[in-house]
Amino acid sequence: MSRHSFRCFCLSSQGLAYLRTSLSLVSLGIGVAQLFQIPDLVRSRSADDDGHDGSEGGEVALLRFMRRLADDDGARRAGINLGKPIGALCILLGGLCLLFGARRYFVVQRALVRGRFEPSRIEVSALSLGAGALIVCSFGVIVGARLGSSSG
């Protein structure tokens, strides 16, 4: 394999990695937005439930938590009101990751033609900080909703 072929292969792998990360962040955003809609679904189904959910293990604890959250209107509203913005921020971060990846692909392609390679520090740092901030925010919302539902 020639040196030029190897560089092109590495460049396309890097572009695909940015695309994969972007799709993962968008999927995470959709999942987070839908996750905070579960208490409304559990609340509507708990009225028809006979007390047996047919689940075992961890699913029982999750359903109990969701039922308590569904019964607590304040915690439920806080989760729904914060779930959609956090999901939207994940989707926005995924779009930014795709834009960073496209920009990076063409910058590196031009640099490789000139015989140079510039490492990416700013894009990776910005995406890492954004993802870390979203993780901390999501954790805070979940813990706050849990504390709000157990105190009532």
In this prediction, residue 137 has a pLDDT band, given cuts at 50, 70 and 90, of confident
Tokens of 34: 């839908």
pLDDT in tens, 90-135: 999 999 999 999 999 998 888 888 888 778 888 889 889 988 988 8
**In this structure, what are the phi and psi dihedrals at residue 2, rounded to the nearest 5 degrees?**
-75, 165
CATH number at residue 86: 1.20.120
Three-class SS of residue 36?
coil
Radius of gyration of the chain (CA): 22
Residue 38, number of CB atoms within 10 A of its CB:
19
How far is C-alpha 63 from the geometric centre of its chain's CA atoms?
22
Identify the pLDDT of residue 118. 77
Containing structural domain, residue 91: 3-151
pLDDT in tens, 10-45: 788 888 999 999 999 999 999 888 877 766 555 555
Interatomic CA distance for residues 152 and 147, integer angstroms: 9
Q: How many domains does the chain have?
A: 1
